[in-house]
Amino acid sequence: MPLFSVVIPTRARPDTLRHGLRTVIAQSEQDLEIIVHESGDDPATASVLSEFDDHRLRSFKTVEPVRMTENWERALQQATGEYLFFLGDDDGLLPRACTIARHILEEQPAEILSWRPVQYFWPDFFEADARDKIIAVYGTELECTLKSSRATLYPTYRFRQYYIELPMIYNSFVSRRLIEGVYQSHERYFIGSMPDVVSGVINLCFSSHFLRCNRPLSISGVSRHSTGHNFGSGNPELQSKVKSSAFGSIPLHPTMVHSHSFPLAVGNEFLIVKDEFFPEGDPEVDYAAMLQAALQSLNDIPEEYDLVLEHCRSIAEKNNLTIQEQDIVAPGPPPRRPRPGRYETGPGTILETVDGRSAAVANVFDAALLLDRLLPEPAIDSPRFLEEPEQTEVIALAASGPITLDFSLSGNGALLLGLGWSHLESWGVWSVGPRSELLLPVTAYLSTALQISVHGQLFRPPRSLHLRIEHDSAVLFQEEASITTEAVALDLAPITVPPSVSPLKLRVFLAIDNVASPAELGLNDDIRRLGLGLHRIDISAATS
């Protein structure tokens, strides 16, 4: 049994497969097998495979083409490694990826080692503004965080985190033991139409924790072949081609409608995997948050703005929800890709965008070599290991002092975010759109009053912030504040609460006027309509 299996499912894409395969063959790690599994029987693919003479490489094919999920499942059956990773045929591994992974897993054994891939847009990608861009998020020092699977799954189903935060087999080394555990309870590992996204959910369901590395080990290539991007391209010809070649008949949950909107398509997959793996348990898909995400991203596919809006209204009607007109973004151009540059997005975290054409990058192999030079040298013999704080689900007050809810990526407040928040970042989380909510279940309070302080930052002050706190629809607190500085520190007046109720199920509503995105204001390429950047909330029993 080799330590690693790198599995490459492919279908008639020899032009990108050649360079993606080069990045794997170039790995110095010898305790590795490389599996190429072809849907169909393409002579050009066979010709590419014949170019490589490496004992680690094995290839298989179905002869007759099969849908993407089926090809992935068959490919999985051929892998024999202790840890498995799937690589798209226009993707790549960074040099030393397997060596770095081996050192990390030797120091801290885990069922899953995950990371955020670099994004590389091939020169032939249909979106001209994105071509040749390389976008990398990385840490200045090699760190791995032990994360709670449950605390990752719940915000994902509430659309509080991007799907890229899932430990998918597309951005993770996943242990054979975990995969065999899936097979013991189900006949398949891959289900639905998005096997990468669904694998991330399944991996969370069958693990208690996973390691998240702050250094990318792979490149997610986006080429003219890319299934997901063609699906959401707004080009009927590309959409029809990818549906017939990759998806076939897309399973549809009865509460949903077919849509090219990514939040809606991902939501459909979340519902299908839930019905299969945890039909009676939590988490539930937050339909309101899913619709809000879709409404905020209507301009992702400008050609289908009206159609996706109609899809949102249909899903709302099916699920007895009401579309808030203020959540609907006005028609406009699609979001721009980040411009070249290097920015610190948080302590020790860098976002770097590189113009591949200027750097003479023509394919994903070139991109891998360039990134190996750009990224900080990893201290692979001494990686730093961190442990994610336990997530707060019930706020149990005590006489010892206030409870602090931290809303950063390394904080404890992710499970308390309701509607209207973006993804967690290293410093905290932005509210998106004109309204947002927090859910604060409070128990064991020591008096009939609570003291709450809100700390954060405001996007583009001065602005008006309206804050309301309810319990069982009864309004306990309301305040409207005019905030003139970027730093926010609101010490609310003591909030009187029902003396005999425990736990209190407080709902905090935030409304901010004049929401706008940095892109609309010409500041940068961020299209989120930002309001309050929430750092932390302190809550305690009020003293007499």
Give per-residue pLDDT as tens, 336-346.
777 889 988 77
CATH code of the domain in which 200 resides:
3.90.550.10
Q: Which of 327, 343, 359 is the last residue of a domain?
A: 327
The predicted pLDDT at position 173 comes to 98
Q: Cα separations (Å) of 190 from 186, 313, 509?
A: 10, 30, 39
Instruction: Please count the structural domains in the chain.
Output: 3
**Residue 347 CB-half CA count within 13 A:** 6
CATH of the domain at 481: 2.60.120.260
214 and 259 housed in the same domain: no
**pLDDT of the residue at 501:** 66
Specify if 63 maps to a domain.
Answer: yes
Tell me: do 44 and 191 sit in the same domain: yes
Would residue 29 count as lying in a domain? yes
Of 103, 98, 99, 101, the residue nearest 113 (C-alpha): 101
Last residue of a domain, one of 208, 224, 240: 224
8 A C-beta contact, residue 302 and residue 234: yes
Beta strand 57-61 with 32-38 is parallel
Which one of 302, 327, 352 terminates a domain?
327
414 in the same domain as 305: no
Residue 358 lies in a domain: no
Does 123 share its domain with 268? no
Q: Say if residue 215 is in the same domain as residue 165.
A: yes
Residue 435 has what pLDDT?
87
Claim to verify: residue 213 and residue 273 sit in the same structural domain? no
Which domain does 440 fall in, by range? 395-541
* Shared domain check, 272 and 190: no
Q: For residue 16, give the nearest of 537, 364, 498, 436 by alpha carbon.
A: 364
pLDDT of residue 456: 95
Is 115 inside any structural domain?
Answer: yes
pLDDT of residue 399: 63
pTM: 0.90
Question: Do 47 and 195 fall within a single domain?
Answer: yes
**How many Cα atoms occupy the beta-carbon half-sphere of 307 within 13 Å?**
12
Is residue 218 located within the same domain as residue 266? no
Question: Is residue 515, in this structure, part of any structural domain at all?
Answer: yes
- Bin 100: left if φ > 0, else alpha if -120 < ψ < 50, else beta: alpha
My answer on whether 202 and 274 are in the same domain is no
DSSP string for residues in 420-481: SB----SS-EEEESSEEEEEEEEES-SSSEEEEEEEEEESSSSEEEEEEEEETTEEEEEEEE
pLDDT at 230: 77
Same-domain pairing of 171 and 40 = yes
Q: Is 389 exposed, middle or buried (0-12, 13-18, 19+ CB in 10 A)?
A: middle
For the chain, residues with pLDDT lower than 50 are: none
Length of the chain: 544
Give the pLDDT confidence score for residue 397 in this predicted structure: 82
Do 321 and 257 share a domain, yes or no?
yes
